[in-house]
Amino acid sequence: MMIEPELRYQTMLDTLQKNGGRLTSHRLALIHLLSVSEDHPNAMMLYQKLREQFPTISLATVYKTLTLLKKEGQVLEIDLHTESHYDGNKPYPHPHLICTNCHKIIDGDEIKSLKNLSAELEETFLFEATQYQLVIFGLCRECKPE
């Protein structure tokens, strides 16, 4: 379930303001793009979309802003080893299902057996999970042979 885009935008904006981040038009446009995205874009996808409105934006600006938002817990980085994708709508740890055919990324937060993972890690191993990433590779509904 997607979080209300305006609420996500405001939360990211407030976080940048509190931590002294410069509120340039490029950064504001980037956090807006992240807040309304239902996908999991990579930095290049965000950069190309922003260049339509801001031809002078640099890829470095996109990366620096993503790094800052990630550090502040406002964006979740999905590290796929060859590239990273970003979830600005659900910045908390949750599983992602990656289609090996079409490369679609699907949120897997409905997986019931994973809901209590942090509590089980604490109870079983006395281990406090502060961040985790679970990526499951396979074929999506559209790509799976019938």
pLDDT digits (tens, 9 = 90+) for 29-60: 999 999 999 899 999 999 999 999 999 999 99
According to the CATH classification, is domain 96-138 in 3.30.1490?
Answer: yes
pLDDT digits (tens, 9 = 90+) for 5-25: 899 999 999 998 888 778 899
pLDDT digits (tens, 9 = 90+) for 59-98: 999 999 999 999 999 999 998 888 999 999 889 888 999 9
CATH class of 5-87: mainly alpha
The DSSP letter of residue 88 is: S
- CA–CA dist 15, 91 (Å, integer): 13
Domains 5-87 and 96-138 share a fold: no
Q: Which long-range contacts (CB under 8 A, 24 or more apart) does 128-134 make?
A: 129/93, 131/93, 132/93, 133/78, 133/79, 133/93, 133/96, 134/93, 134/94, 134/95, 134/96, 134/108
Q: What are the residue ranges spanned by the domains of the chain?
A: 5-87, 96-138
